[in-house]
Structure 1
Amino acid sequence: MKRVILYTRVSTQEQSMGNSLQYQKTILENHCKNNNYEIVKYYEEDHSAKNFNRPKWIELSDYCKRNMNGVDTIIFSRWDRFSVNLEEAIAQIRHFKKLGIEVNSVENPLDMSNPDNKILLSLYLMLPEIEKENGL
């Protein structure tokens, strides 16, 4: 059974646009139920995704370092819930890979062992970053 950490994140503006923490959590819980995943932890965040200097993300990261044999995957609903900063996101993915922990999206999952998916990952992470820079 895959052991997962659920991660949800919003900014105040996103809450009002129907992207609530509860909505994200429901998507993640349903995904876990349908795939027989064990939820080991749940973190919810209300900070910007422009970097990883977020209280709950730091807590999640510390937990994974202490319990890397007890976690297989960190999941979130969409890639923009994880990050809107391509460079920092890639660094985080590499960091967790060294711990033996996968980082992935439920709505746009990627097989990270397939090198071709690096292109898709870059797109998923760059589009929100560009939208943010353009004020969209």
Structure 2
Amino acid sequence: MKKESKNIKKNKIVDQFEFDEFQKWKIEKEKERIKTHVPTIYGYARVSTEEQHLEPQIKQLKNSGAKKIYQEKWTGTTTKRPIFEKLISLLLSGDTLMVTKLDRFARNTQEALTTVEDLNKRGIKINILNMGYFDDSPNGKLMFTMFSAFAQFEHDLIVSRTQEGKAYAKKYDPHYKDGRPKKFTEEQVELAWELRKQGNTYKMINRKTGISIKTLQRRFNELKLKDSE
């Protein structure tokens, strides 16, 4: 038992030593990166849904001089943007962060101003192509606050109009259903369900009907619930 306890203690010391060595290695690598750094223009492209395309933004960023481009598909309502956060952490003094529009850079006024302040303190330029460069000067802050506020106002207005439209449709349209319309009819799904009951695999049904496996699984679960009621 004592021997086992000694081994555990020894392993902890070794683990701590390896961790400390790794931390030293990281610090040295970062110093080397800063020392040999060449100021670079980084582009960032983002869309909010899987259906949207990144290519137009990427092309615009390249044409405007971006040398390295980071991209991601992420909803505008989530608080997480891992690719953007990674890019921000990589930027060094003298670099430029380029985006096509303000809403690609931040989701609201406060976030935009906080990010701008942080990047300016680190000596990083921000170029929003449909506005221009933003810096830490009083004029730069004023202009950026104004444009950010307008972008937030526009977003809130769209949300408000969408909600009003849904409320009106729910009240006056008896056939209105919230959410996206279903791509496949009930008859198509029921046919697929019959194929499943006959022993066909999801892949076989997908080839025969064109309905994705995820959709088949979801719709079949709905049918099972109906049958059990």
The more displaced of 121-130 and 50-59 is 50-59
Q: In the alignment, does 2:75 pair up with 1:48?
A: yes
- Alignment partner of 2:107 out of 63, 84, 92: 84
Q: How far apart, in 2, do the equivalents of 1:98 and 1:113 lie? A: 8
User: 1:112: how far off?
Assistant: 1.9
User: 1:132: how far off?
Assistant: 2.3
Q: How far apart, in 2, do the equivalents of 1:132 and 1:29 lie? A: 27
Secondary structure class of the residue paired with 1:100: coil
Q: In the alignment, does 2:144 pair up with 1:107?
A: no
Normalising to structure 2: TM-score of the pair? 0.47
Q: Which has the larger radius of gyration?
A: 2
Q: 1:113 to 1:61 in 2, by over 3 A?
A: closer
Normalising to structure 1: TM-score of the pair? 0.75
Q: In the alignment, does 2:61 pair up with 1:24?
A: no
Contact kept, 8 Å, 1:51 with 1:88, in 2: the verdict is no
Secondary structure class of the residue paired with 1:84: coil
Higher strand content, 1 or 2: 1
Contact kept, 8 Å, 1:50 with 1:83, in 2: the verdict is no
Higher helix content, 1 or 2: 2
- Alignment partner of 2:87 out of 56, 60, 66: 60
Alignment length, in residue pairs? 122
Unpaired runs of at least 5, structure 1: none
Unpaired runs of at least 5, structure 2: 1-37, 162-229
Contact kept, 8 Å, 1:75 with 1:104, in 2: the verdict is yes
User: 1:118: how far off?
Assistant: 2.5
What's the CA shift string for 1:22-54, capped at 9, x where partnerless? 10111111111xxxx6x1x31112123457631
Q: How far apart, in 2, do the equivalents of 1:14 and 1:117 lie? A: 35
Secondary structure class of the residue paired with 2:127: strand
Contact kept, 8 Å, 2:48 with 2:74, in 1: the verdict is yes
Structure with higher RCO (Cα < 8 A, 6+ apart)? 1
Task: State, as a whole percentage, how many aligned pairs show the same letter.
Answer: 26
